């Protein structure tokens, strides 16, 4: 795969990933990952201080599916919708079928509950640090580290970033 094809595959994966979340197709979200995977949400403060604690840490596709089941059936939270903005997608390394990439993101949250209906706010800003496997023309995340710029999270982080 040449550099242009590699970059296109990464961009397509990132765009499909955020469209899946933004369109509330969350049952499809784990399929963006390999079976053995890591999805981690951590803060810039923790990383800069060498603290290994994450806000969310999942190390298999099964754990990702459990998060969605919990979101749909167990968690109590105000109904909302996310809208992702992604930019500055950059392939940082490519070796064989493995690609490392960085992508800036911002997530706007619009409340849909009766009390706050229609209120939109900037919910999270940071960078995706990804390791992507491309096999048979299909790109999937082996690792997705969501590095949030601050430790301040406005409410329950229930929907994937």
Averaged over 12-22, what is the pLDDT? 98
Global model pTM greater than 0.85: yes
Mean residue pLDDT of the chain comes to 94
Nearest by Cα to 90 from 100, 80, 105: 100
Side-chain-facing half-sphere of 75: CA atoms under 13 Å: 15
Q: Which residues contact 114 (CB under 8 A, 6 or more apart)?
A: none
CA distance linking residue 7 with residue 143, whole number of Å: 17
Residue 103 has pLDDT above 80, yes or no: yes
Residue 3 has pLDDT above 90, yes or no: no
64: pLDDT confidence band, cut at 50, 70 and 90? Answer: very high
The first and second tokens of residue 46, run together, are: 């923790």
Residue 61 has pLDDT above 90, yes or no: yes
What integer pLDDT is reported at residue 158 of this predicted model?
84
**Residue-wise pLDDT tens digits, 82-92:** 999 999 999 99
CA distance linking residue 20 with residue 23, whole number of Å: 5
Token look-up 């392939």 returns 91
Residue 141 has pLDDT above 80, yes or no: yes
Q: Which residues contact 27 (CB under 8 A, 6 or more apart)?
A: 68
Averaged over 45-71, what is the pLDDT? 94
């Amino acid at each position: 795969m040449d550099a242009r094809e590699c970059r296109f595959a990464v961009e397509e994966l990132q765009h499909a990933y955020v469209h899946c979340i933004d369109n509330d197709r969350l049952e499809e979200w784990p399929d963006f990952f390999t079976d053995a995977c890591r999805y981690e949400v951590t803060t810039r403060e923790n990383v800069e201080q060498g603290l290994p604690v994450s806000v969310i840490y999942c190390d298999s596709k099964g754990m990702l599916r459990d998060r969605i089941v919990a979101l749909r059936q167990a968690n109590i939270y105000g109904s909302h919708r996310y809208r992702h903005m992604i930019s500055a997608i950059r392939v940082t390394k490519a070796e064989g079928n493995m690609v490392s990439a960085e992508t800036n993101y911002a997530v706007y949250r619009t409340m849909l509950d009766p009390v706050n209906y229609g209120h939109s706010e900037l919910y999270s800003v940071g960078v995706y640090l990804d390791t992507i496997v491309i096999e048979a023309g299909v790109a999937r995340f082996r690792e997705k580290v969501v590095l949030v710029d601050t430790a301040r999270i406005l409410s329950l982080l229930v929907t994937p970033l």
